[in-house]
Structure 1
């Protein structure tokens, strides 16, 4: 039986002998034959220490995030001025876009070639909602990941990432009232050579 799961992005568990994991099949070949195009090729050259990519996927509409959460996220990104941030926000997210444009180290877009960004050598951190497809892509890239689970399987995915040691999880509720823990986690993720 074929299962669309990557066994390395799962908790250890007993399985039947006829289970064959095929999660992520074809992902590497898709990115291998393409290269970044404008403006992303240029954006990846910015940032003295590298680039951080932020995306909450295609199911989370950033327009509906509380303003305090968006402000705390953007203020956190601006605090890491040695890094350039590629931030995916919805085109309808007027507050997020206008506030982010006041920060010099943030590039706003409503679409990205995610698999190509994750393969880029200057990418230092992927900050994501933790959807399974994003996890498959980041697992194949070797980039550290910071998850902010929003819904569905994302909390479980965050537990897998933490257990396996290739990322951390930030609680979205904490961002309603401040960004201290997020700054601490990002500092750890960006400065830990582990």
Structure 2
């Protein structure tokens, strides 16, 4: 019984003896998915699934950084973008947690941290 339309398509277009895709997936030791886990919704996954988001994307209309941001990037040994996104807004964290993150960032003075933060309660904590 064949209830898999993708397998049916492969058998029609490529080879009538093409193996069932569901059976192939069960035997596969690694699955590469064209999805970016940073932008995708959080969900359980398996260790054999590797997100390789951006495959096939070509940069278009790339604009240079502003002078201010370019200076920040040039002056750093590395850049870290830190965000919990909309799932866990940082401004709703207890102040002790926020200060713990800031203290951790300060331990790496050669790196510049960009924290997506909505709120005004941390003014004066950053450069």
What are the within-5 Å matches in structure 2 for residues 17-166 of structure 1?
24=53, 28-29=57-58, 32-33=59-60, 34-38=62-66, 39-47=68-76, 49-90=77-118, 93-96=119-122, 98-101=123-126, 104=127
The structure with the largest helix share of the pair is 1
Q: For 2:111 and 2:87, how far apart are their aligned partners in 1?
A: 27
Aligned-partner SS, 2:53: coil
Aligned-partner SS, 2:47: coil
Aligned-partner SS, 1:71: helix
Q: Is the 8 A contact 1:71 1:99 kept in 2?
A: no
Aligned-partner SS, 1:100: coil
| CA drift at 1:85 | 1.5
What is the CA deviation profile of residues 83-119 of structure 1, one whole-angstrom value per residue up to 9, with x for unaligned ones?
12122111xx2223x1532xx4xxxxxxxxxxxxxxx
Residue 6 of structure 1: aligned partner: 33
Higher Rg of the two aligned structures = 2
Gaps of 5+ in 2: 1-5, 7-31, 38-45
Superposed CA RMSD: 3.3
| CA drift at 1:73 | 0.2
> 1:23 and 1:65, CA in 2 relative to 1: closer, same or farther beyond 3 A?
same
For these two proteins, the number of residue pairs brought into alignment is: 85
Structure with the greater relative contact order (CA < 8 A, sep ≥ 6): 1 or 2? 1
Q: For 1:83 and 1:74, how far apart are their aligned partners in 2?
A: 13
Q: TM-score, normalised by structure 1?
A: 0.35
Q: TM-score, normalised by structure 2?
A: 0.50
Aligned-partner SS, 1:52: strand
Gaps of 5+ in 1: 14-21, 105-194
